[in-house]
Structure 1
């Protein structure tokens, strides 16, 4: 496109063609007739050939103008598409997101992601499940736009937005504790326990609580994920502290026989949304973060009642 030609000239030119005359085009555009005539004259000067021939019948398109009009229509359509794209980018409705999620929330994240994509059909998204530390590392390095992880230690490479969920005690079928309204650390002394390994935050807090209350723990099984722990409880292997999100999801299964009870003193399962501190974050990412925060906020209120 000739650098002298601008979109306003093309728009006026197309309006003259559409309306059939300069005077009608001026009225439609809210311009004076001399202003439209000047715009057409300047366009003709810029491209080097005549677009309209004036005769006693009015204004007639030249043969060249017919071909030029087809090109002008393509340019104006492309500019309109570009303007729409810019508006969508500004409002975070288009683009691609790379999201990393810890395994413990891998059943919840797809539902939130799907809801966001239904509201933003032009968004493309990659959702990958990795251990929290790997997600932290990849978010900090800019390989993931956003992460959902167990709450990390303060790191300058990450922006951390934490959430806490009160953990629940999962009782195997036939447990003698089923009539209790809440389960205490003393109730679990000597009973078979399923934990998520010594390094997991829930296990460390449970051990600290047991030490404080002078109780011994009988860990008979370890697993990496809360859903796996829940499945072992369902099979009668033992008791476990479970995050309420897993408990809610597992409770929908037809084969679920696990009994859930509040656990006291309260032990929280802490998760976080993380963003990179030293890499640019798109408007789309911030838009998704807001949607994710809204869902986690509602869930925190509902599950922590």
Structure 2
């Protein structure tokens, strides 16, 4: 069964933007047109994609599955349209970067701003996403540069690996401000906020506790280092946090201490192995790689209170 792409595009916009109004503005068409496209898609697919509750559209489980399947396709067409526009306007290149959330809060926007300062005609495509999706986008050619966590899930990707020390953020109320370092024994049975049971930082922290005979007590799971740090600031527990998230935070409500033994986070820059990188992309990498290398060797001592 053939389904017109415009219907998928309207559905994708509603899912991504959250409302019909925002989707219509994004696609540059009227709200009734968006609603009509969605109704056509539901009739064609014989799927109920949204529940209408109190005037709001709530995606059904079927909508979530469909969105995952068409996301890369819709973004691919947007990518083609942007390339055509760049060629028509003779734009001097486009920087395409997909980054994980930790670097998206401060580091990458600042680097992009510095990069664009001498390139006023440069167009940009920047997106933050989870690491698996970033690798999918780079492998599909939607983004030229991806910055994400290991492991590498797609063949055909070149990787440049960086290893960063994570630091332990502890609520002020924990009474550990006089420690220059903390150990698993210091935090035995203390509540922790973690990045999911299978995340590399969680696994490595748990291993450090077990190796030192301390109980690693998990109080809360979350999906972003930023969320974990915000929960620390509310006094709910400690968390191992990456240096990028710490650098973009105000530092209020908690202390930061190095954990002995150290727990590391592996981040990679990925590009497609079978496609030469553009001049613009290589220049951006030449800018950010030395800065990431410096952060990788920096223990963030300036964030640690004496």
Give yes or no for TM over 0.5.
yes
Matched with 2:198 is 199
CA distance in 1, matches of 2:237, 2:201: 16
The match for 2:290 among 285, 289, 294 is 294
**Is 1:141 the counterpart of 2:140 in the alignment?**
yes
Matched with 2:29 is none
Contact 2:206 2:216 in 1 (8 A): yes
Matched with 1:276 is 272
Equivalent pairs, count: 211
Larger Cα-atom Rg: 1
Query: How far 1:127 sits from its partner (Å)?
Result: 0.4
Query: How far 1:154 sits from its partner (Å)?
Result: 7.6
Matched with 1:105 is 103
CA distance in 2, matches of 1:154, 1:238: 32
CA distance in 1, matches of 2:102, 2:222: 12
The SS at the match of 2:248 is: helix
Query: How far 1:227 sits from its partner (Å)?
Result: 1.1
Change (3 A) 1:286 1:201: same
CA distance in 2, matches of 1:216, 1:223: 20
CA distance in 2, matches of 1:109, 1:122: 19
Query: How far 1:142 sits from its partner (Å)?
Result: 1.1
List per-residue Cα deviations over 1:165-198 (Å, max 9, x = no partner).
1111111022122211111112221111101111
List per-residue Cα deviations over 1:216-241 (Å, max 9, x = no partner).
21111111111111111111001111
CA distance in 1, matches of 2:137, 2:111: 21
CA distance in 1, matches of 2:297, 2:219: 33
List per-residue Cα deviations over 1:9-56 (Å, max 9, x = no partner).
xxxxxxxxxxxxxxxxxxxxxxxxxxxxxxxxxxxxxxxxxxxxxxxx
Following TM superposition, the consecutive aligned residue runs of length 4 or more in structure 1 with deviations greater than 4 angstroms are none
The SS at the match of 1:144 is: coil
The SS at the match of 1:167 is: strand
The SS at the match of 1:94 is: coil
Matched with 1:46 is none
Contact 1:173 1:259 in 2 (8 A): yes
Cα RMSD after superposing both structures: 2.0
Query: How far 1:304 sits from its partner (Å)?
Result: 5.8
